[in-house]
């Protein structure tokens, strides 16, 4: 094999050759067979591949690495330059064996081969972030939720163990929001009472966390003052024992004040403030998280560079601890930009694992966005010529499931969702792919003979 040192020698050798007017070499042709293995040498093609560009400078007659080598051998002899190779390949060119009409024969036995699974090891782990705090940590949660901590792509348990499964937070609003019918029917009885709503999410639908969205603070809606919104946060914290996420209304002017107040009243509970964005006072929001011991959600609009920038601001300017940042790189629904969301998140995750410490944070997804897709809620297609869409009660949940599933494969650790069936199915997928569901079916070949 050519090692790096020898490769360097070959380059030098080529440099020397260049001095001998390359043009003179034009027209020299080496005829011969194109055997890959070179007898009498340990040289294989892959090791010479990096030199290929260099070799091709000598003209297109050197179109095989093998030929190039023997050519160089001859030249070195002719020009009296020492050969750069320790072991000299056989100078004789093997004659081409006569072409034999191949008879297609069925072999007796399968050929023996070796298969070694490949293992990918990354250098950097995703930060592990704890949400919620129990009594011993100064809070009142019954348990905490951990996200992140992995050193491989999502569910690649064969590369490295996954310390934490993705978790699901169910959305709660402090006033009845616009909801698709299929979603609303599950919350009809609690729409006016955020505390009851939160309880239902945990007790009935198995939420790992709840997110209370303080949308009534929006100046375009009720414009509820921050202090009043903070009371709702307290009520939710009392109603449930799981960790809580606090969301604003998305209003750039109002959110910093609302989230600051929420951070203050939930001191010790280690909530997540959602969110700090580049176009609002991220510094104030992140400072509130830092000062009261919470986590901040760093939200950018589908742009890996902006995500890096905002994370750096939070780390460097605010001094957020590394274990207190989660990212939301933005979720687009299946069919409505999911490809961008998927690839953006996959790139962020790969960058983090490969050592970009501005990006190795857990990720969160607003998967409820899936319900914006018309396929999820519309009675039927408005498009002439479409195959009828079928019952929408069945389309909606699967839209949320597939949106979430796809992003889980990109590396999302925390899902904010709404439909109870979607929540249940995604949980099943996560435990299955993580290796926590042991049962299998006995005969996976049975479909071959399946009738009906």
Is residue 100 a contact residue for another protein (CB under 8 A)? no
Piece of the chain touching another protein by CB under 8 A; list 60-68, 77-85, 203-211, 311-319: 60-68
Give the 3-state secondary structure of residue 170.
Answer: strand
Q: Which of 7, 308, 322, 374 binds another protein (CB under 8 A)?
A: 374
Is residue 39 a contact residue for another protein (CB under 8 A)? no
Is residue 78 a contact residue for another protein (CB under 8 A)? no
Nearer to another protein (CB atom), residue 19 or residue 104:
104
Is residue 435 a contact residue for another protein (CB under 8 A)? yes
Cβ neighbours for 21, distance < 8 A, ≥ 6 positions apart? none
Measured from the CB of residue 377, what is the shortest distance to another protein in angstroms? 9
Instruction: Report the C-alpha gap between 376 and 361 in whole angstroms.
Output: 31
Binders of another protein in range 315-334 (CB under 8 A): 330, 332, 334
Instruction: Report the C-alpha gap between 198 and 168 in whole angstroms.
Output: 13
Instruction: Report the C-alpha gap between 204 and 193 in whole angstroms.
Output: 16
CB 328 within 8 A of CB 299: yes
Is residue 313 a contact residue for another protein (CB under 8 A)? no
Is residue 86 a contact residue for another protein (CB under 8 A)? no
DSSP state of 125: P
Q: Which of 190, 402, 414, 423 binds another protein (CB under 8 A)?
A: 402
Binders of another protein in range 181-200 (CB under 8 A): none
Is residue 65 a contact residue for another protein (CB under 8 A)? no
Measured from the CB of residue 260, what is the shortest distance to another protein in angstroms? 22
Is residue 121 a contact residue for another protein (CB under 8 A)? no
Q: Which of 335, 356, 357, 427 binds another protein (CB under 8 A)?
A: 335
Is residue 291 a contact residue for another protein (CB under 8 A)? no
Piece of the chain touching another protein by CB under 8 A; list 127-135, 237-245, 288-296, 432-440: 432-440
Strand ranges inside 179-271, DSSP E: 209-213, 244-247
C-alpha torsion angle, residues 84, 90, 93, 97 (rounded to 10) = -140
Structure tokens at 349: 């995750």
Is residue 68 a contact residue for another protein (CB under 8 A)? no
Q: Which of 44, 125, 128, 389 binds another protein (CB under 8 A)?
A: 389
Cα–Cα distances (Å) from 275 to 45, 282, 289, 300, in that order, read 53, 8, 10, 9
Nearer to another protein (CB atom), residue 139 or residue 397:
397
Residue 327: CA count within 13 A, CB half-sphere: 37
- Scan for tokens 């390359």, then name that residue: 22
Q: Which of 405, 412, 414, 416 binds another protein (CB under 8 A)?
A: 405
**Exposed, middle or buried by CB within 10 Å (0-12, 13-18, 19+), for 234?**
middle
Q: Which of 27, 95, 97, 385 binds another protein (CB under 8 A)?
A: 385
CA dihedral over 376, 378, 383, 384, signed as positive or negative = positive
CA dihedral over 125, 347, 283, 417, signed as positive or negative = negative
Q: Which of 13, 155, 173, 371 binds another protein (CB under 8 A)?
A: 155
CB 319 within 8 A of CB 326: no
Q: Which of 92, 94, 339, 354 binds another protein (CB under 8 A)?
A: 339
Is residue 117 a contact residue for another protein (CB under 8 A)? yes
Piece of the chain touching another protein by CB under 8 A; list 74-82, 88-96, 139-147, 346-354: 346-354
Q: Which of 4, 87, 99, 110 binds another protein (CB under 8 A)?
A: 110
Binders of another protein in range 194-233 (CB under 8 A): 220
Instruction: Report the C-alpha gap between 300 and 313 in whole angstroms.
Output: 13
Structure tokens at 439: 């049962």
Q: Which of 90, 188, 301, 355 binds another protein (CB under 8 A)?
A: 301
Instruction: Report the C-alpha gap between 6 and 47 in whole angstroms.
Output: 11
Is residue 113 a contact residue for another protein (CB under 8 A)? yes
Measured from the CB of residue 55, what is the shortest distance to another protein in angstroms? 10
CB 405 within 8 A of CB 127: no
Is residue 8 a contact residue for another protein (CB under 8 A)? no
């Amino acid at each position: 094999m050519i090692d790096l040192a020898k490769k360097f020698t070959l380059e030098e050798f080529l440099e020397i050759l260049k001095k001998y007017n390359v043009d003179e070499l034009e027209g020299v042709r080496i005829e011969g067979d194109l055997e890959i293995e070179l007898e009498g040498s340990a040289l294989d093609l892959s090791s010479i591949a990096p030199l290929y560009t260099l070799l091709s400078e000598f003209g297109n007659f050197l179109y095989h690495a093998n030929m190039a080598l023997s050519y160089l051998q001859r030249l070195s002899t002719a020009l009296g330059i020492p050969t750069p190779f320790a072991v000299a390949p056989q100078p004789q060119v093997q004659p081409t064996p006569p072409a034999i009409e191949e008879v297609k024969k069925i072999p007796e036995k399968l050929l023996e081969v070796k298969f070694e699974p490949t293992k990918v090891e990354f250098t950097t782990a995703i930060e592990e972030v704890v949400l919620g705090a129990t009594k011993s940590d100064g809070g009142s949660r019954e348990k905490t939720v951990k996200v992140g901590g992995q050193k491989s792509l999502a569910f690649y348990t064969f590369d490295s163990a996954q310390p934490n499964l993705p978790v699901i937070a169910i959305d709660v609003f402090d006033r009845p929001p616009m909801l698709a019918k299929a979603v609303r029917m599950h919350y009809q009885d609690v729409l006016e009472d955020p505390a009851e709503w939160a309880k239902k999410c945990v007790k009935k639908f198995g939420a790992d966390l709840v997110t209370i969205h303080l949308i009534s603070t929006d100046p375009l809606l009720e414009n509820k003052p921050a202090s009043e919104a903070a009371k709702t946060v307290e009520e939710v914290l009392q109603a449930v024992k799981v960790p809580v996420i606090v969301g604003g209304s998305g209003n750039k002017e109002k959110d910093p004040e609302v989230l600051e107040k929420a951070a203050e009243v939930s001191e010790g509970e280690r909530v997540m403030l959602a969110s700090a964005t580049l176009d609002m006072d991220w510094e104030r929001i992140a400072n509130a998280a830092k000062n009261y011991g919470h986590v901040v959600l760093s939200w950018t609009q589908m742009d890996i560079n902006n995500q890096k920038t905002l994370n750096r601001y939070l780390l460097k300017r605010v001094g957020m601890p590394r274990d207190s940042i989660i990212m939301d790189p933005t979720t687009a629904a299946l069919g409505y930009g999911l490809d961008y969301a998927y690839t953006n998140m996959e790139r962020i995750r790969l960058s983090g694992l490969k050592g970009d410490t501005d990006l190795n944070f857990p990720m969160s997804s607003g998967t409820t966005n899936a319900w914006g897709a018309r396929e999820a809620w519309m009675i039927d297609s408005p498009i002439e010529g479409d195959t009828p869409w079928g019952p929408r009660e069945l389309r909606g949940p699967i839209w949320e499931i597939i949106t979430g599933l796809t992003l889980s494969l990109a590396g999302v650790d925390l899902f904010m969702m709404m439909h109870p069936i979607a929540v249940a199915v995604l949980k099943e997928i996560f435990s299955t792919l993580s290796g926590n569901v042991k049962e299998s079916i006995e005969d996976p070949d049975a479909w071959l003979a399946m009738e009906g």
